[in-house]
Amino acid sequence: MEFIKGITFGYMSQRGDWDTVAAKESLVLLKEKCAANTIILTVVVEQANPQSTTIDWQSETVLSDTEVKQMIHYAKSLDLNVILKPMVNVSDGTWRAHINFFDMDVPCEPKWSDWFKSYNDFILHYADIAEETGCEMFVIGCELVNADRREFEWRQLIHLVRNQYKGLITYNCDKYQEDHLKWWDALDVISSSGYYPIDRWQQELDRIEKVVDKHQKPFFFCEVGCPSRSGSEYLPNDWTKAGELDLNAQANWYKAMFAACEGREWVEGFGLWDWKAHLHGNESALTNEDYAIYGKPAEKVIYKNYKK
Tens digit of pLDDT for each residue in 144-202? 999 999 999 999 999 999 999 999 999 999 999 999 999 999 999 999 999 999 999 99
Give the span between the Cα atoms of 201 and 127, in whole angstroms: 33
Residue 281's pLDDT band, with cuts at 50, 70 and 90, is confident
Q: Are 136 and 165 in contact (CB under 8 A)?
A: no
Tens digit of pLDDT for each residue in 98-109? 999 999 989 989
Closest to 84 (Cα-Cα) out of 186, 181, 6: 6
**Res 280: pLDDT:** 86
Tens digit of pLDDT for each residue in 26-76? 999 999 999 999 999 999 999 999 999 999 999 999 999 999 999 999 999
Give the span between the Cα atoms of 125 and 146, in whole angstroms: 23
% of the chain at pLDDT higher than 90: 97
Q: Are 113 and 105 in contact (CB under 8 A)?
A: yes
Radius of gyration (C-alpha) of the chain in whole angstroms: 19
Q: 114 by DSSP, 3-state: which?
A: helix
Spell out the residues 6+ positions from residue 282 whose beta carbon is closer than 8 angstroms to its own: 295
Q: Please check whether the domain covering 4-306 is classified as CATH 3.20.20.80.
A: yes
Instruction: Give yes or no for a cis peptide into 17 (omega within 30° of 0).
Output: no
- The structure's pTM equals 0.98
Tens digit of pLDDT for each residue in 230-271? 999 999 999 999 999 999 999 999 999 999 999 999 999 999
Residue 282's pLDDT band, with cuts at 50, 70 and 90, is confident
What's the full length of the chain, in residues?
308
Give the span between the Cα atoms of 274 and 160, in whole angstroms: 30
Spell out the residues 6+ positions from residue 181 whose beta carbon is closer than 8 angstroms to its own: 148, 171, 173
Q: 258 by DSSP, 3-state: which?
A: helix
Give the span between the Cα atoms of 105 and 113, in whole angstroms: 8
Give the span between the Cα atoms of 272 and 31, in whole angstroms: 13
Closest to 274 (Cα-Cα) out of 235, 231, 230, 239: 239
